A and B are shown apart, each in its own frame.
Chain A
């Protein structure tokens, strides 16, 4: 069930970016946020789920609909940036490897006291946090460098 909900949410996320018309894109976005809210409620995090539904499918979508009235029914044509696909593919592959590197946390079925949560982070995730910060810094450096190159290329 959870796999189904998450798969539909991801498909709707992709649809909201690939639609050429504005209203279907907004509807896909709303449905994705609603499904994520339902998923949180299924998880047992009712407050978070209700917050998600109220804020995203309520408030933010009204703002985007206001934006749609400015844009009109169709999105403007845009230039595809091919390097974006390659960068994103590399980032996704890099990030997908990380959960499998994580060590198992001793979980006994009840909430861990807040004092111990910091200890768990430092004991289990400290080294991975350093690794991730190095990766993030290199991505940041690469993107700034790429922007610099693109700007000078245009001139």
Chain B
């Protein structure tokens, strides 16, 4: 049970770091890193529950999360490059302004 607490607290801190990155950073690459951290915090918690309590059903969800993260990375890089083409920057706040100007 102690092992699960350690993993749970680490996952929560990782989730917090990711959440901070998503809410405070204003360039696409760091937001992308932060989103991956959020997903990895969940995977860590699911893996820990499977190891400590035998809740192996969570591992299936973890694999699905990894697949979704891969797709999200591909879509993220696409948006990233499009934003760079439109605005010449990688700051999402400026994208809105550039699109409204056009």
Contacts and interface: CB of A to CB of B under 8 A. Distances in A.
Interface of A: 2-3, 6-7, 9-10, 13-14, 16-17, 22, 25, 29, 32-33, 36, 39-40, 43-45, 48, 51-52, 55-56, 59-60, 63-64, 66-68, 70-71, 75-76, 78-81, 84-85, 87-89, 91-92, 95-96, 99-100, 104-105, 107, 110-112, 114, 117, 120
A95 B12 contact: yes
B73 A84 contact: no
A13 B17 contact: yes
Contacts, number: 157
Contacts of A6: 6-7, 10
A6 B56 CA distance: 22
B8 A99 contact: yes
Interface of B: 1, 3-10, 12-21, 23-30, 32-34, 36-37, 40, 43-44, 47-48, 50-57, 59, 62-63, 66, 69-70, 73-74, 76-77, 80-81, 84, 89-91
15 contacts: A2-B6, A3-B6, A17-B33, A25-B30, A29-B33, A45-B47, A55-B70, A75-B29, A76-B90, A84-B20, A87-B19, A87-B23, A96-B9, A107-B53, A114-B56
Contacts of B20: 17, 84-85, 88
Q: Is the interface of B mostly helix, strand, loop or mixed?
A: helix
Contact of A33 (B1, B40, B76, B91): B40
Contact of A92 (B12, B52, B57, B81): B12
Q: Is the interface of A mostly helix, strand, loop or mixed?
A: helix
Contacts of A95: 12, 15-16
